[in-house]
Amino acid sequence: MIIKKAKKVEKKNKLLLAIRFSCYLFVISFALLVLDNKLFVKNNYERFSERVSSIFIGKHEHAVTNMQQLSSFIAGAFRGTFSNYSPEKVNLSLQHSKILKTYNDSINGLPREYVGGNFEIISSDQPRTYKAKLRSKGDRALHWEDVNSMSFRVDLKGEDRFLGLEEFSIQKPIIRNYIWEFLIAEIANQQNLLTLKMQPIQFYVNGDNRGIYILEEVPSKISIERQQRKDGPIFGMDEDISSGIDSKLDPYEFKRWERIPMYIYAKELLYSEFSKVRLGKNFSDEVFDFDEWSKYFALMDVFGSFHGALPKSVKFYYNPVLGKFQPLLFDAHKGAGRFNQFSMVDFLLEDDPRRCEYLCEHKAFYIGFLQNKAFLEKYIFYLKKFSSEQFIRDIFNSYEEELQHINDKFYSNFSPADAIFQRSFLPYFFNFSLILDRAIFLKNKISLLEDMQPTINEQSLNTDRSNDKYKIKLNRDIKVVELNNYNLQGNRWEINEPTVVIFTGDTVLKGISRSQQLIISGPAMFVQLEGAITIDDVHFKSLEVFNIENRNWSSVLNIIDSKVIIGNVVISDNKGEDSVNLISSKFDIGRIEIYGSSSDAFDSDFSDGSINQLICKNIGNDCIDVSESNINVNKILVEETLDKAVSAGENSNLLIEDIVIKNTSIGLVSKDGSNLRVNNVDFFNTELDVAAFRKKPNYESPSITIGQSSFSVQPYGLVTEDSATYLPNEFKIEILTSNEIENLMYGAVYGKATEK
């Protein structure tokens, strides 16, 4: 009897829902018929239409506004209701009194204090509970319009991570205008711009279903490293003071950075640039990565998402390899403002730009970029590219393939349109034609700008290179030499005083032959920035790594964003951290021998390539250390290495055909989502032969595969239970946790602590 009664209640609820939805559609249909067909007398129609539009639509184009859109909305809602797509189910578990406290903090404008609770995955296939602290978030009333729809900031405690994230926000999809934020971030990411991870979730609070919410990453070191860049400080604006460049900088992860010289330098540099721009000068291309900023602003222009161009909305990441600030997309919020007839180039084309809305008060910020000739040329290039028919088709294809199923789920929940400061009565609708209209509009603007550009170049535009002093900051008297398209073939280059040599363009360093090598020696550090470098029959001897406060250059030979060809190279007896560091480069290496390196011998970050033969002898830390790289190696010989022969980390794929490891503390290590495969290995006098674990909890478990092996004593390994290990039967393997393995390494029992 109880079961029958429950079924009757369920049927009754479904019937009520169907009746309610039918009434909702009837009211919407009637309103749209009024707007479409002018059922009222002509004289009163425009005034009536404006009032209805204000109430129902919220004076923007992101709601269902006609019967054709309503038809598309219903079709999408139908697909979303019956699709197999089901967002992850998560639950926040905390005392009701704590919920009320965080809610009252928001509505009363009080400091938002964290409270303790649990963050739970309640999906049936992987239930898990994380300890967390959380608070309310958001500066619009939509974030906390009532206690049952409020937004949260969640910070997981300890080593726990969800989706590889430690800190994130949870908020209604309306806060970022539904699928628009996903689409803009997807296209920005395809253009190699920094973005944040977002994911729909089915959100519960103490078991009460709140519906579809969006989980959004908070900017951090994890955000940067996941996108294959080196850790550097990230700055936002303190919005309690101002949303513009006259505000106080608000750094992320401040406690981690506050005493580090690079952070202090970057903060002072950004303040200096903002002060200069407020006085009518331009940003420097030695401080801002103009290629990325021009690309970023062009995308905001194509989407008409100028909220994302506000100084408070875009975050400023200091890239420690390039020594320049790059943009990180944080809050595009398409629909916040009406910019149908506005483009950022209007700041150049008009003395008093029309329809720039809230961007007007930040004009100095945009002019600081646009009046720089180097920036403007790139900006026009990307405007043309992003408004082209092919690119618009690519945007639509990305929506259909990656995001439409999520948008249909929004439709199936009959989500109200975002009227910025309140919910619209009419449902939200994704109108792709807005992008098509922007593309046509921008093509006309580009033509106008190009017609006027000779005059603009003569009267307004300039390239400010007064900040060359900011390029690198040394803590001692060291000479800096810049060489473009440098070509040297000979037998000796001796450097007598401390020098940083920076190569740009195409660099060639060659000896006469293998028996008559080019010997480069002395207290020098070499950096190849972009372009290409070819090195053959060269011996780098007794070089030195210098401490550069505003750069993360860690080797005597640093190769950055370059194409690399190495024939035969020897590196010996250098002073400092590493011998070779390849960053974001493509390489083809024949033979490289490294002797007497103080720390790592060969270090690869975000790079791909092949090595025929690598020889490491008398190495202070690792022979080969790779991160976010894809590398094939034919042969490796490792002797007298104090830490690891091979360290594959951070989602790397490393294939080694043959390796001999002698008198080395640790043999083969795979960690943090890496895939290490060795077809043949010979172990001679190693303390720990194999290890596989997670050092960074935001990565997945690693794998390690060994085909054949020979050894003097039975090989021994430490692996975690969740690591994928395929080892010969002769191996003695002990299963431990990642923390237990890490606590035995880095000089505790095995290996040596890394020298920095």
Strand 524-536 relative to strand 563-572: parallel, antiparallel, unpaired? parallel
CA–CA gap between residue 153 and residue 217 (Å, rounded): 10
CB 446 within 8 A of CB 466: no
Residue 445's pLDDT is what?
Answer: 83
For the chain, how big is the Rg over CA atoms in Å? 30
Q: In what order do the strands lie in the sheet with 234-237?
A: 249-251, 234-237, 315-319, 324-328
Residue 168's pLDDT is what?
Answer: 92
Domain boundaries, the chain: 2-82, 87-171+195-228, 245-471
Residue in the block written with tokens 């006309």: 444
CA angle at residue 238 from 237 to 244, to 5 degrees?
50
CB 202 within 8 A of CB 86: yes
CB 176 within 8 A of CB 413: no
For residue 314, give the nearest of 403, 234, 371 by alpha carbon.
Answer: 234
Amino acid in the structure at residue 298: A
Instruction: Supply 715's token pair.
Output: 């090989």
SS3 750: coil
CA quadruple 56, 60, 65, 71: dihedral sign = negative
Residue 25's pLDDT is what?
Answer: 56
User: Residue 304, exposed/middle/buried by CB under 10 A (0-12, 13-18, 19+)?
Assistant: buried
pLDDT along the chain (756 residues), means of 10: 37 49 54 46 43 49 80 86 87 86 77 86 78 82 74 86 88 90 95 95 89 93 92 92 91 92 93 93 92 96 93 95 95 86 86 81 93 90 93 94 92 79 78 91 82 48 44 81 93 92 94 90 93 95 89 92 95 87 95 92 95 95 94 95 93 95 94 94 93 90 92 89 90 91 90 71
